[in-house]
Structure 1
């Protein structure tokens, strides 16, 4: 946080810190760590406490300042002590041992921001074409918050620039951007309109440049200029020229919507209203930032920022931009990335309709997929497709369910400057031209590596989806096998018990009770069960065979080199080669930059990148085609297997129902027999009910009681004995059935046996109108 103080002075005034030749200075337990920066006003030094390791950045000014600058310094110290905000560097109390003497100007103690300043970030080669989207979002949000806070305190910063924004690295890796250097800040309580000429020229508002009266809208211009540079990597108005050179011409031509000026040809200045490529923002953000910059970079101060009553329009508009929820969808057929702002109540289906209009892919053929291989619910909210900006897996992948090929892949064109370099690799170029072509060459190589990385992630998502389907297939095969095994056990028990019943029935039919309808039903049931079992057996074998063949096919793509990250590393290495060449060029000593050089090394790297990209894209599309074909096969097999599993489960239920029906048949027979037993019931027995044949009892239509009244005592005893024997055979038969079911059926206890109680109640309470056996059956 001392780095904060390091940039309390304008960049042109910073001088390299000479190496310390003497031991570190120590005062009251505080040790001078190093000089962070120095300038016209004085120096900023980092002090560290020996015991607590507490740090403080101490800004000291020179005593020989003129009265105007002395007042300016006192104003800065006074303003800093009054401010407390997350995005304004925090002033601290000067430790007692480090306080100045009474006759010395006051010191300013500040937190130490260890991440450097924004200029250092923008100067990195990887940010030559602008910062990443997530970084742009963070810078804009944090600095807007700091500027709005200053304005709420009636303070104009007047010197917003990358050098006056520092980075504090918080725990967890989060970077916080903070405003520093309020040396030029103006307290509006001294007058809402000011006229002093301050600030750095490149970021200076036109009215300050012209020494006119100004308000806080000067900060809007500087802030807009800074944001444009964060997005594109360069300032908006002729960045290679001094403002004195372009100020009058831009003023003469500029309209309210113009946000940049450039030279199309030497001496020919043009203005435009768009954010130029290349950059790292998605299209929805580009369009909205263009509108916002058109507010911030208006030449006339009174219209700049959009006005507003309680709050400036520019800050409200910025909040709506930064709070925008954007879903990114990568079309795996073309490699195109589509970005859509979405609302909370929007559904995935509505997103698919928008995709259909843009990609010409019908909704019914679309398959959306997350990086995990899972698919969103089409009927659910689109929020399931959105993730916080900056997440690596915040892209949804779009596939066609039926096919994929590389013929629709959209090849990203080379920048024109790079095309010229490749066409004339031996041509000697001045340093500025080579710097531009090298910077764009690196950006292109990095873009190709990132594009292939996204394509690889889509391929990996497809593989993970296929593995999920494979797991479903494996699980389903096991379920079918288990269910069929259970069914076979039930079927074997059912057939065995049925055959036993039929055998016992046949044995007693010559002397007992018969029902051809019941016996015929049993035989038909046996045939039906055996036929269904044969069908299930055939289906299970067919599915097992198809599953085994598919499992063999599924192993191949998993072992493919294209399922690994090695190819991504190849393109990453090429991008690093381009970065190294760009860095070497940037580090060229100033005295040697006057020489012309060719670009053969960079040309070789770019051509290697293009060749490698084309080969990898072709290979990965071949790999993707195999995955899609396999996925189609699995998806065709899964419903068939699910139907088979459902059919087996239904057959198991039918077996249970058949078993129960047969038990009811037997108990109905038993009930009829018991009704015929002498003395068992005073009620009359129906005459030959439903075709029932009772060869051991009289066929007379008279009641059982009247028949037996005519019998001798000896005959009654014989009849009783025979009845006892029949009852014994039925009892033995049902005991056998119950024992068999106990061994083979785990769910026998769940059957409804309440009809037995019903039968008992019926014997005790039945009415005088008897049913036939055939009707009961």
Structure 2
């Protein structure tokens, strides 16, 4: 018996099965002329028993659609040996979304970036169908294919249009198609429970299937799960029709037991808290059964557009050693960023200090900069969040880790395979947890280094400014210098270099500052050319510098208050102090007291 079959331009092997359905199977084949790999869909005897117009419908739909998120039709040819027509399509080497979810790595749902890709591509494909007045009627992960582009990027595509048909916006249909776990409750009642319900259905039945599919992609599980699965059909219908608005899942864990309803995604889901806040209302709208609350396709497309157009801002919360994600809409501003951060960390806006690399975030943007123009962040280069009123660091509570299965004493190949798959799934959860903790450790070290660099640079600038405000020197009069400014705290990046520069600058100026430089600094001239500033003026300058120091320390948090105390000790003159064998001049005392007073009052 030969396993090779073919048409005029294509050949395929019946052992290379890509998928099977009720009406046919899909095989991997090649183009006879150039060797290009393709997917070939053949039809079985059951398919040929359908009315001729129904058989031709899939061909007509595929000819009508042409979109990057719909599997491309290459040819429709007659199979040799008179077995009927075959559909030749592009080959999606990444497999179906169902097979991807069946991988132990994705047992608890796809990673966030992959979920967003599925959401965007699925929506784009559905929009193209609705623009052409088409309804799919069999949306599920098994009918969404992963295509790997030449540059390595991924595109998800809709396939299997055997149940698709043309349907206007207000038009209804009565024929039954679809997979029961993804069926709208009204269709489930007729198709599965076989109840003679005189209802017709509109294009919005696809929205329910999209909602179930997206929940499955996000969590790795179906949203509505009766005890016993497909066997418990009545409970399945009860769960889907009796749930309250806003409920996105219902599960039954024991026979005839209660239903556990949920309005949020489960904790093991790989989506970040920030994205869950956007996705949960979307799922609630798609999985609505109340006829007065059911979404339209326009509403669905609009909500997805809002979600996919957001800017993801990665933030590392130092106090909890935890990474979070904030999603900003294109026109949202800094106050919205602070609000979203507060929702996830409980750090109020007034206490937030955000660093971007080694600068304050507000040095990179202003408060009115829209979210779409924010600098790019990543998990490796996030914004760093400090709490100016809390220096304590404690790990955030982690969600419970799934338990490894208990292996029974009875040996069974089927059960062992299932147990091994579950164990691999738990292993992947632990692997992701370890990777997250290692990344947090690296980011904690980076936070300390960047905070130290920022603090050292700011204190060095304040010290330099304080020196310029309080230091005096004249070309023709008595010369004396002030004590050097306070040193920045030890081990701060750049502090040693800053002190060296300040020392060199003092030595140069001690040899005599030009009078023009003194005038440029606003030093009030006295009676003679070399007169020194008056004590009152120096006191005011010292107070201004002191207030600047106080404001800086207040902004940088309680951890820097020792720097202020150090500055005050160096600035306030001691009784009987001498400098270079001379009594400290009254003007110096006035400036120093002003600096200390200004910092205290500030």
Distance in 2, matches of 1:344 and 1:645, equals: 49
- Answer yes or no: is the 8 Å Cα contact 1:59–1:107 preserved in 2: yes
Map of 1:282-361 to 2, 5 A cutoff? 282-300=272-290, 302-303=291-292, 305-307=294-296, 312-344=298-330, 348=334, 351=337, 355=341
SS of 2:315 mapped into structure 1: strand
1:453 corresponding residue in structure 2: 438
Deviation at 1:320, TM superposition (A): 1.4
1:488 corresponding residue in structure 2: none
Deviation at 1:539, TM superposition (A): 5.8
Match of 2:58 among 67, 72, 76: 76
2:427 corresponding residue in structure 1: 442
Map of 1:168-567 to 2, 5 A cutoff? 168-188=147-167, 192-211=171-190, 212-238=199-225, 241-242=229-230, 244-250=233-239, 253-263=242-252, 265-270=254-259, 271-300=261-290, 302-303=291-292, 305-307=294-296, 312-344=298-330, 348=334, 351=337, 355=341, 366-370=352-356, 372-373=357-358, 375-378=360-363, 380=366, 381=369, 383=371, 391-393=378-380, 395-399=382-386, 406=393, 408-415=394-401, 418=403, 438=423, 441-442=426-427, 444-462=429-447, 465=450, 524=476, 528=479
Deviations 1:239-290 (A, max 9, x none): 6511624234225632232221112554223233322222122233323322
- Answer yes or no: is the 8 Å Cα contact 2:169–2:203 preserved in 1: no
| Structure having the larger proportion of residues in strand | 2
SS of 1:377 mapped into structure 2: helix
SS of 1:281 mapped into structure 2: coil
- Answer yes or no: is the 8 Å Cα contact 2:358–2:454 preserved in 1: no
Q: Report the more deviating stretch, 81-90 or 184-193.
A: 184-193
Deviation at 1:137, TM superposition (A): 0.9
- Answer yes or no: is the 8 Å Cα contact 2:8–2:80 preserved in 1: no
Distance in 1, matches of 2:271 and 2:179, equals: 28
Deviations 1:586-614 (A, max 9, x none): xxxxxxxxxxxxxxxxxxxxxxxxxxxxx
Which has the higher Rg, Structure 1 or Structure 2?
1
- Answer yes or no: is the 8 Å Cα contact 1:87–1:177 preserved in 2: yes
- Answer yes or no: is the 8 Å Cα contact 1:220–1:305 preserved in 2: no
1:108 corresponding residue in structure 2: 87
2:28 corresponding residue in structure 1: 46
Map of 1:608-623 to 2, 5 A cutoff? none
Aligned length: 488
Distance in 1, matches of 2:26 and 2:339, equals: 59
- Answer yes or no: is the 8 Å Cα contact 1:165–1:177 preserved in 2: yes
- Answer yes or no: is the 8 Å Cα contact 1:74–1:106 preserved in 2: no
| Structure having the larger proportion of residues in helix | 1
Deviation at 1:220, TM superposition (A): 0.7
1:58 partnered with 2:40: yes
Distance in 1, matches of 2:400 and 2:110, equals: 20
Q: Report the more deviating stretch, 131-140 or 42-51.
A: 42-51
SS of 1:312 mapped into structure 2: helix
Map of 1:737-748 to 2, 5 A cutoff? none
2:587 corresponding residue in structure 1: none
CA distance 1:405–1:258, shift in 2 (3 Å): closer
Q: TM-score, normalised by structure 2?
A: 0.67
CA distance 1:366–1:441, shift in 2 (3 Å): same
Deviation at 1:158, TM superposition (A): 0.8
SS of 2:513 mapped into structure 1: helix
Deviation at 1:167, TM superposition (A): 0.5
Deviations 1:501-542 (A, max 9, x none): xxxxxxxxxxxxxxxxxxxx98x46x63xx56xx7xx969x9
Deviation at 1:428, TM superposition (A): 7.9
Deviations 1:33-70 (A, max 9, x none): 74434555444333334664433322232467544165
Distance in 1, matches of 2:86 and 2:343, equals: 64
Map of 1:124-203 to 2, 5 A cutoff? 124-188=103-167, 192-203=171-182
SS of 1:93 mapped into structure 2: strand
RMSD over aligned Cα, in angstroms?
A: 4.6
Distance in 2, matches of 1:645 and 1:344, equals: 49
- Answer yes or no: is the 8 Å Cα contact 1:297–1:304 preserved in 2: no
Structure 2: stretches of 5+ with no match in the other structure: 191-198, 465-473, 518-602
Deviation at 1:392, TM superposition (A): 3.9
Distance in 1, matches of 2:139 and 2:115, equals: 16
- Answer yes or no: is the 8 Å Cα contact 1:46–1:57 preserved in 2: yes
- Answer yes or no: is the 8 Å Cα contact 1:373–1:463 preserved in 2: no
Deviations 1:457-495 (A, max 9, x none): 41353366379679989x99xxx9xxxxxxxxxxxxxxx
Deviation at 1:125, TM superposition (A): 1.3
